[in-house]
Amino acid sequence: MIVSRNEGLPGMKTAFLFSCPGQEEMKSGRLVNGQTGKNLDRLLCFLHEQRPDLFPETNRYAYRITNSSEQVHFKAHDGRTEPSEKEIALPENLSRLKEDLRGFELVITFGRCASFAAQRLSDDKTAPLPRFISCRHLSFLSLNSSIKTDVHGSPILRNDPQATDKRLMVVAGQVLSQL
């Protein structure tokens, strides 16, 4: 069974909103597992260097983590890798998300579905909401297909052993520029 959210440490101001549990999460029962989780930990190292007030820890499980949908999606399971907008917009799902994110000052959304969920939550003006910052998903597919140059504008070569870190530094810069 997959937990619906990662609680994080008491007193954290920042939370993370991802799309949905996938195959790795189904196997482990933990959110943001596998390579996406490793990429989140590396991203947190870069963010911690610049803003330790918002990112005091470099381990993802120190933070609240939730998903725009609790339903598991991956190709071999149901032919999809993300939830539908209809699934995200269900009133009971949005209520769950409001509860998951209550009390947080900053929520970073990772990917299109998480951003959609944040927008739907923002449409409801009945409760105070955290500040949302949108970011790309941290899967290799997302990072490799959309980030071709490093923070200095130099091309990231395919065989570069530091390619993932260079891409994650670009993502960190994008997050920090929205603060």
- pLDDT class for 128, splitting at 50, 70, 90? confident
Q: How far apart are CA 46 and CA 50, in angstroms?
A: 7
pLDDT at 62 exceeding the cut of 90: yes
pLDDT band at 45 (very low <50, low <70, confident <90, very high): very high
pTM: 0.94
Whether pLDDT at 106 is above 80: yes
Please name the residues in contact with 162: beta carbons below 8 A apart, sequence gap of 6 or more.
none
pLDDT of residue 129: 84
In the chain the domains, ranked by start, together with CATH numbers, are 14-177 (3.40.470)
pLDDT at 29 over 70: yes
Phi, psi of 144 (to 5 degrees): -70, -30
Percent of the chain's residues with pLDDT above 70: 98
Instruction: Output the DSSP codes for 84-113.
Output: -HHHHT-HHHHHHHHHHHTT-SEEEEESHH
169-175 mean pLDDT:
98
Q: How confident is the model at residue 126 (pLDDT cuts 50, 70, 90)?
A: confident
Rounded mean pLDDT, 129-150: 94
Average pLDDT, the chain: 94
Helix, strand, coil % in the chain, rounded to nearest 5: 45, 10, 45
